[in-house]
A = this chain, B = another copy of it.
Amino acid sequence: MAKFPPDAYAQLKAYFSEVAPVSDADFEAIKPRFLPVYFQKNQFLLRQGEICSSIYFVVKGSFRIFHVNQEGIELTRYFAFENKFGTNLTSMIEGTESVENLQAIEPLYVFEVKKAAFFELVETSPQVNKIYRNILQNAYITSQRRIYDLQGMTALDRLKWLLGQYPLILSRIPSRLVASYLGVTPYTLSRLKNGL
């Protein structure tokens, strides 16, 4: 295991300046709530049935959010790459048991922000508040878009749509997981790749 990226806080600050610029002094106050954590490939950040108590910011690597349905099929709904936040919002907000799993896909370096610390920051830091509004809206908009954009598309068009958003996804993420995101079998995805 390589050590935690030394410039990770600089990266976080750069993220803030994109979304909600923050002064050096304010950033120093926020910083200690962002805890560097490492997860191995395939390790779980959260398992279904547990209560989600943190939100994560990806410094390096990636994780996915997925659900296992009645038939035992995995359905992936989100890939979190560098500079993305990810958590199970419903479980974290309501304190209910998660129906989703969060799992590292690659060796993963994240900042973990504990629920209590996070909501405190939401109240005390206008910047974090803005970021939170962003997260909420994106969560909703993303899931809406997913329904509307994908409904009625062929599997090939869905794949193209995904590649439009993450051009490198097929070289970075196992096909099996991409298939579980697109809602097709790995067989079908393999064949689709020929038709690109």
Taking Cβ atoms with an 8 Å cutoff, the residues of A that contact B are 67, 69, 71, 73, 75, 77, 89-90, 93-94, 99, 136-137, 139-141, 143-144, 146-149, 151-152, 183
Contacts and interface: CB of A to CB of B under 8 A. Distances in A.
Q: How many copies does the complex hold?
A: 2
A178 B139 CA distance: 26
Nearest to A139: B140
A47 to B, nearest CB: 16
A140 B89 contact: yes
A151 B183 contact: yes
A140 B69 contact: no
Contact of A144 (B69, B90, B94, B183): B90
Given A94-B137, A137-B93, A137-B94, A147 B143 contact: yes
A146 B147 CA distance: 8
Contact of A151 (B69, B93, B139, B140): B69
B147 A77 contact: yes
A148 B90 contact: no
Nearest to A66: B148
Nearest to A71: B152
A152 B90 contact: no
Contacts of A152: 69, 71, 73, 75, 183
A152 B75 CA distance: 9
A75 B151 contact: yes
A169 to B, nearest CB: 19
A90 B143 contact: no
